[in-house]
Amino acid sequence: MRRGFTGLGDKRLVYRGNKILSDLFSKSVHSIRQLSRNESDAKAVYRFLQNDRVSEEDIVENLVHNCQMACAGKFVVCIQDTTEVNLSSHGNRINKDGFVGTTNAKNSQGLGFFVHPSLVLDAVSGTPYGYSDIKIWNRSLDFKSKHERQYGKLPMEEKESYKWIEVSKNTQASLRDVVAGMVIVQDREGDIYEQFASIPDARTDLLIRARADRALADGSKLFSCLADQPCQGSYEVQVDACAKTRRKKRTAKIEIRYKEVELKRTRAASKAVAASIKLYLVEAKEANRAGPGRVCWRLLTSLPIETLEMAEMCVEWYKWRWTIEEVFKILKKEGYNIEASELEHGSSVRKLSLLIMEVIIQLFLMRLAYAVPEGEMSADSCFTEEEQAFLEHQIIRLEGRTGKQKNPYKEKGLKRYVWAIARLGGWKGYESKRHPGITTLWIGLKYFKAAMEGWTIHKDVSTR
């Protein structure tokens, strides 16, 4: 089934919302003019985005509902992060309607808003199910510095960093009665004592990269407490070259260590939370290397780490953070380029961003089709019957003469049609080579929609 709206209180709004989602997926553009067939369709999209009866909360609620239906009964990993949508390049056109503000605390040059989603993946396969929550907000246009706001004295609930705890709580509320269990994964910004003290429960665990060298209850420090621990296991990873940092490509040997630790309550933490918390520390550190560029992850988790396999699983789940970074890339410069939107209302840009984020889940499902056994994913999850029929014609044209250049997949399987979309996006089609990425699929979808519109026009004319 295609993902979409089920409840907006009005059938006409449900129809229009699903039409926009379908067009965003197949046309892969943010421009309302390019998204619409004619002036009437364009006006309908503008009206939907500006309609007070379609709130951000309504859209997020529908996205969460789709996620709940997809992940019921599963054990899931929920990845959080924040991205900035900067609209300052056309700041003179944007209506300052209270939905945009400065994005830079140091000066007023930035203009836009922030998006902080919780992306839900299957804990075994990495299948994306959707979002358990999305927080979207803006600062004021005259946003003051931390010093001016006396940030350190503010209660946790009034700090911007509370977003990590808030979205974790909303994720619990959304999924607690739906999934078998969940692990919430966050980067160093989420290393907040109050979060460790309040979020973990029987069905919820945290996995967060340590930011600070915290004091432990036994008087030692977090970052050095594993120094005398023996290596529990190791593996090798390829570190890519980086021209910006002058890093050369290398093979790194990663050593794993872990132990239970007891954190002392920080000075800034509320006295209402526990004076100490027992967690597990997992360290994945590059051996025989020191200084900048050394691979070193220190992960704090409420999961009981009693085996090497469990420690390695935590490292793997943390590595999945790149998935949410890809969501942001497709939302912005490497995909829909929402920051170049011609919309004049910040509220409309925010709603369109949420719609695009739902469509991105379908892009991930297409890419994932190459990582699961054939037949497990139906083409109906992304393409209509008519679109599948058209892609069958495209496959004939895209196949080469040799067996290696043929599409090896059966009809009705998502993998077969992803192969065609990837070829349209520039992929060479060799299964022995690297599988098509999100950007390739996004480009392929743009060519697919343009070609299908021509095919539909030709078919309609031919049958008259």
Dihedral sign of CA atoms 203, 299, 358, 110 in order: positive
Q: Are 179 and 73 contacting, i.e. CB atoms less than 8 angstroms apart? A: yes
Q: Where are the domains of the chain?
A: 75-344, 372-462
User: Over the stretch 389-399, which tens digit does the pLDDT of each residue have?
Assistant: 999 999 998 98
Q: Are 264 and 275 contacting, i.e. CB atoms less than 8 angstroms apart? A: yes
User: Per-residue pLDDT for 1 more than 80?
Assistant: no
Measuring CA to CA, which residue among 443, 437, 409 is closest to residue 424? 443
Mean of the pLDDT values across residues 232-251? 84
Mean of the pLDDT values across residues 106-120? 85
pLDDT at 392: 92
The domain 75-344 having CATH identifier 3.90.350.10: the answer here is yes
Distance CA 213, CA 423 (A): 49
Task: Provide the mean pLDDT of the chain.
Answer: 88
pLDDT at 339: 93
User: Per-residue pLDDT for 62 more than 50?
Assistant: yes
pLDDT at 86: 93
User: Over the stretch 298-323, which tens digit does the pLDDT of each residue have?
Assistant: 999 999 999 999 999 999 999 999 99
pLDDT at 224: 93
Any bridge partners for residue 264, and if so which? 276
pLDDT at 198: 94
- What percent of the chain clears pLDDT 90, i.e. is strictly above it? 52
Distance CA 440, CA 442 (A): 5
The domain 372-462 having CATH identifier 3.30.479.10: the answer here is no
User: Over the stretch 127-160, which tens digit does the pLDDT of each residue have?
Assistant: 899 999 999 999 988 877 777 777 777 888 889 9
Residue 85's SS3 state is: strand
447 pLDDT band, cuts 50/70/90, is confident
What angle do helix axes 438-462 and 322-331 make, rounded to 10 degrees?
50
User: Over the stretch 18-28, which tens digit does the pLDDT of each residue have?
Assistant: 889 988 887 77
pLDDT at 410: 85
Measure Cα distances from 177 to 173, 174, 182, 206, 386 in Å.
8, 8, 11, 18, 38
Mean of the pLDDT values across residues 444-452? 83
Q: Are 443 and 436 contacting, i.e. CB atoms less than 8 angstroms apart? A: no
105 pLDDT band, cuts 50/70/90, is low
User: Over the stretch 174-212, which tens digit does the pLDDT of each residue have?
Assistant: 999 999 999 999 999 999 999 999 999 999 999 999 999
Other CB atoms within 10 Å distance of the CB of residue 229: 12
pLDDT at 44: 93
pLDDT at 190: 96
Stated pTM of the model: 0.87
pLDDT at 73: 96
Task: Classify burial at 202, counting beta carbons within 10 Å of its beta carbon; exposed 0-12, middle 13-18, buried 19 or more.
Answer: exposed
User: Over the stretch 321-375, which tens digit does the pLDDT of each residue have?
Assistant: 999 999 999 999 878 999 999 899 999 999 999 999 999 998 888 877 765 654 4
Residue 224's SS3 state is: helix
User: Per-residue pLDDT for 433 more than 70?
Assistant: no
